[in-house]
Amino acid sequence: MSVSLASSPIDDGFAPHVAQLSALAPEAVLTDPDLYGSRLTDWRGAMTGTTPFVLAPRDVETAARLIKYCADHRLPIVPQGGNTGLVGGGIPQGEILLSTEKMKAIRALDADNNSAIVEAGVTLADLRAAAASIDRQFPMSLGSQGSATIGGLASTNAGGVQVLRHGMMRDLVFGVEAVLPDGRIFRGLHGLRKNNVGYDLKHLFLGAEGTLGLITAVSVKLAPIPRSTAAAFIATPTIASAVALLNLARDLSGDAVSAFELMPDIGLDLVCRHIPGATRPLPNVKAPWWVLMELSYGRDDGVEDALEAILMEASDRHLTLDAAIARNEAQAKAFWRIRETLPEAEKKHARAVKHDVSTPISALDSFYREATAAISARWPQAQIIAFGHVGDGNLHYNVSARAPAEAQSLLKDSKAIQDVVYDCVIRHHGSISAEHGIGILKKDALKSRADPVALALMRSIKAAIDPHNLFNPGRLIDV
Ligand SMILES: Cc1cc2nc3c(=O)[nH]c(=O)nc-3n(C[C@H](O)[C@H](O)[C@H](O)COP(=O)(O)OP(=O)(O)OC[C@H]3O[C@@H](n4cnc5c(N)ncnc54)[C@H](O)[C@@H]3O)c2cc1C
């Protein structure tokens, strides 16, 4: 299913605005579609939008001037960072695209306070490299880190593979600087671990998906770099056994599990088929599920011994079928490459009906079985590719076609498939969006399932901060 959004209102009516905005900040107004065309299609290629022109301010003061002009003239805006979002929230439907691509300064790195202040357009990879330069880590890691920006990660409350140990963006942000929809600047940047002065306003912007203004900078927590890490690629019979393995590993390691990623066997097949150079860590082993587990220690030694002891105990308890331990960094990287390229391999196989869901960890196995039985009974051409951050109770539960030629027959039933999966998630006390957000694609699913009081509160907050519905209108919630 390819979604083509409302046609662009580009016409002469915008010329005076372009002239006025250019007078405010000449280098920030982009009118040549050749310069921004690729920003109008989302990462999955499922959605293409339009914009009359793009604003790309270099700093917060310029952003504030431009946004105030747009507010005064009731011009709606869609913020965009790296355009790696997966729910269509950053693709304009005729609104002005406001890009953070030029807001790239790392304003401060503070090793003693274990914190950094970074502008919205800095990529996750660049922040991680900057933190490493002062012997610290920014403890977030995900497949899109070369493009995803700090502003986008904060706006979607992103997760990734280190959530188990360090939490999501809401756990990693001390403070936020943002331009409100009327052009005022909220200066909430600080590096405080304790700060009890009423409402914690940064949380309005974290996970708001750009509906409450433009995040221009964020102050974030840094953490010590682990001194030793060990990784294993583990065959396991069921999701329940993977969950038992996780809890065993946490117990035996003194809670040193730093990542715990689940993949189905079909996922390994797809990676080996579509990603050059990828191979199975245990070529002769077939298992329904695979776990990539990583332990990290703050000291230099003992981590491999701990991993081996866990795997022996897990095997005795019949939680695992086989396992490969990475004996060097190259092997560990090869394990991670399988996990990180799985979305790309899946995309190359066929378009799928995707779900990014969470349940309590203890309910994951039951959710998977129930949802899969219901989908298989109604759509025999489907195969489930479910993978993700099991340590966080998060599965990317994707309904794909066994044969690429059958993909269309599933995509045309997207809504019915999603209803089956989301209703099963709700029965298991889960969430229909674990880490990707709501955007456009999940808005109706949220509206029909969310607590009405929660929806009313969200609408009240939106109306208070953006009374003219100018920032990301039509995303996340309808007003
Ligand atoms: C291969 C791949 C792997 C991924 N893995 C993960 C994963 O493991 N965990 C995870 O959580 N996500 C994952 N994602 C999703 C994605 O990377 C995140 O949603 C990311 O946080 C979006 O950042 P971005 O800069 O690309 O934002 P964009 O896609 O540009 O925007 C996302 C949303 O945030 C808004 N926004 C962007 N910047 C700002 C700003 N400065 N102020 C206000 N609003 C803003 C946009 O309007 C939009 O609604 C993955 C994506 C891909 C393609």
**Looking at residue 199, which CATH number applies to its domain?**
3.30.465.10
How far apart are the CA of 122 and the centre of ligand 1, in A? 13
94: Cβ contacts below 8 Å, ≥ 6 apart: 5, 6, 7, 8, 9, 49, 50, 51, 52
Same domain, 178 and 256: no
Same domain, 253 and 322: yes
Name the token pair of 463: 């109306």
Distances (CA, A) of 43 to 38, 141, 316, 474: 10, 18, 44, 20
In a domain, residue 479? The reply is no
Same domain, 114 and 200: yes
How far apart are the CA of 97 and the centre of ligand 1, in A? 15
pLDDT tens digits along 396-439: 999 999 999 999 999 999 999 999 999 999 999 999 999 999 99
Question: Domain ends where: 273, 307, 342?
Answer: 342
* Per-residue confidence (pLDDT) for residue 6, from 0 to 100: 39
Alpha-carbon dihedral angle through residues 113, 127, 343, 391, given to the nearest 10 degrees: -10
Q: H/E/C letters for each residue in 331-369? A: HHHHHHHHHHHHHHHHHHHCCCECCEEECCHHHHHHHHH
Please give the average per-residue pLDDT across 210-231, as a whole number. 96
In a domain, residue 477? The reply is no
Gap between the Cα atoms of 56 and 66, Å rounded = 10
Same domain, 232 and 285: yes
How far apart are the CA of 367 and the centre of ligand 1, in A? 26
Residue 84 CB–ligand 1 contact under 6 Å: yes
* Per-residue confidence (pLDDT) for residue 11, from 0 to 100: 56
In a domain, residue 416? The reply is yes
* Per-residue confidence (pLDDT) for residue 125, from 0 to 100: 97
Residue nearest to atom 41 of ligand 1 (CA): 151
- Residue 158 CA, closest ligand 1 atom number: 11
Residue 151 CB–ligand 1 contact under 6 Å: yes
- Residue 78 CA, closest ligand 1 atom number: 47
Residue 148 CB–ligand 1 contact under 6 Å: yes
What is the secondary structure of 27-62 as a DSSP string?
A: GGEE--HHHHGGGGB-TTS-EE-B-S-EE--SSHHH
Same domain, 238 and 267: yes
Whether 442 contacts 357, CB under 8 Å: no
Question: Domain ends where: 185, 205, 224?
Answer: 224
* Per-residue confidence (pLDDT) for residue 10, from 0 to 100: 42
Whether 46 contacts 1, CB under 8 Å: yes
Residue 81 CB–ligand 1 contact under 6 Å: yes
Residue 188 CB–ligand 1 contact under 6 Å: no
Same domain, 403 and 377: yes
In a domain, residue 402? The reply is yes
Whether 248 contacts 319, CB under 8 Å: yes
Residue nearest to atom 18 of ligand 1 (CA): 85
Number of domains in the chain: 4
Mean pLDDT across the chain, nearest whole number? 93
How far apart are the CA of 81 and the centre of ligand 1, in A? 7
Residue 2 has pLDDT above 70, yes or no: no
How far apart are the CA of 98 and the centre of ligand 1, in A? 15
Residue 329, Cα to own-chain centre: how many angstroms?
26
pLDDT tens digits along 323-342: 999 999 999 999 999 999 99
Gap between the Cα atoms of 97 and 110, Å rounded = 33
Residue 142 CB–ligand 1 contact under 6 Å: yes
Q: What share of the chain is helix, strand, coil (3-state, %, to 5)?
A: 40, 20, 40
Residue 76 CB–ligand 1 contact under 6 Å: no
Residue 149 CB–ligand 1 contact under 6 Å: yes
Residue 181 CB–ligand 1 contact under 6 Å: no
How far apart are the CA of 58 and the centre of ligand 1, in A? 20
Question: Domain ends where: 342, 364, 390?
Answer: 342
Could you tell me the residue range of the domain that residue 404 belongs to? 356-427
Whether 93 contacts 50, CB under 8 Å: yes
Gap between the Cα atoms of 421 and 432, Å rounded = 9
In a domain, residue 449? The reply is no
Same domain, 338 and 236: yes
pTM score of the predicted model? 0.91
How far apart are the CA of 140 and the centre of ligand 1, in A? 13
Instruction: Identify which of 44, 80, 441 to mutate to test ligand 1's pocket (most ligand atoms within 8 A of the CB).
Output: 80
Same domain, 111 and 48: no
In a domain, residue 219? The reply is yes
Residue 3 has pLDDT above 50, yes or no: no
Residue 67 has pLDDT above 70, yes or no: yes
Instruction: Identify which of 5, 100, 118, 144 to mutate to test ligand 1's pocket (most ligand atoms within 8 A of the CB).
Output: 144
Name the token pair of 50: 């339009």
Same domain, 94 and 131: no
* Per-residue confidence (pLDDT) for residue 78, from 0 to 100: 97
Gap between the Cα atoms of 446 and 422, Å rounded = 10
* Per-residue confidence (pLDDT) for residue 34, from 0 to 100: 86
In a domain, residue 473? The reply is no
Same domain, 206 and 185: yes
Residue 207 CB–ligand 1 contact under 6 Å: no
In a domain, residue 191? The reply is yes
CATH number for 249: 3.30.70.2190
How far apart are the CA of 457 and the centre of ligand 1, in A? 24
Residue 317 has pLDDT above 50, yes or no: yes
Residue 325 CB–ligand 1 contact under 6 Å: no
Same domain, 206 and 233: no
Lowest-pLDDT range of 35-39, 48-52, 185-189, 306-310: 35-39
Same domain, 310 and 268: yes
